[in-house]
A = this chain, B = another copy of it.
Amino acid sequence: MTKITSLRGLLIDELMDLYGAETQLTRALPKMAAAATDEALKQSFSWHLYETEGHVERLERAFSILEEPAKTKTCKAMEGLIAEGKEAVNEKGPGAVRDANLIGAAQRVEHYEIAAYGTARAFAELLGEMEVVALLTETLHEEAATDEKLTGLSKSVNENALHSFTV
């Protein structure tokens, strides 16, 4: 366990956690895209993979601005979130029910990231690291937009799930 002795240390720790989380997510999203049956949902996961690769790069730029090595920390929460996503991916029930489950798992991931980026940004702001604030804000907006997009997609997916069931 590393001892965190300052707000700057806490910011670095948050960025390492996010760097680990986003990296883990780039490995999970292709599986979620492959498992989705709804075409719009499939595309949305693929698009978010592309965005997530950009989030990884932004974090690398943030480390560079702060003159810190870009290190990942195993993000235990993201591990758990991805484990839940995997359960949804492997569900053998009707496709629409699995899709609804995948959206639920993905929105948990987005909310986790929204909270984590929000915390990191608040620290960076107080430390006067405005370039880092700008980078984190861009990603934060993309995560929030993804969450909204998933809520939009869930309307028709959940409707389909309501009408498709097996015994």
Residues of A within 8 A of B (CB): 1, 3-7, 9-10, 13-14, 17, 75-81, 83-84, 87, 90-94, 97-98, 100-101, 103-104, 107-108, 110-112, 114-116, 118-119, 122-123, 126-127, 147, 151, 154, 158-159, 161-162, 165-167
Contact B165 A100 (CB under 8 A): no
This chain: copies in complex: 2
Bound form: Cα–Cα A104–B162 in Å: 37
Bound form: Cα–Cα A94–B90 in Å: 44
* CB-CB nearest 9 A-B residue pairs: A80-B80, A6-B165, A111-B111, A77-B80, A111-B115, A76-B80, A104-B119, A76-B83, A7-B161
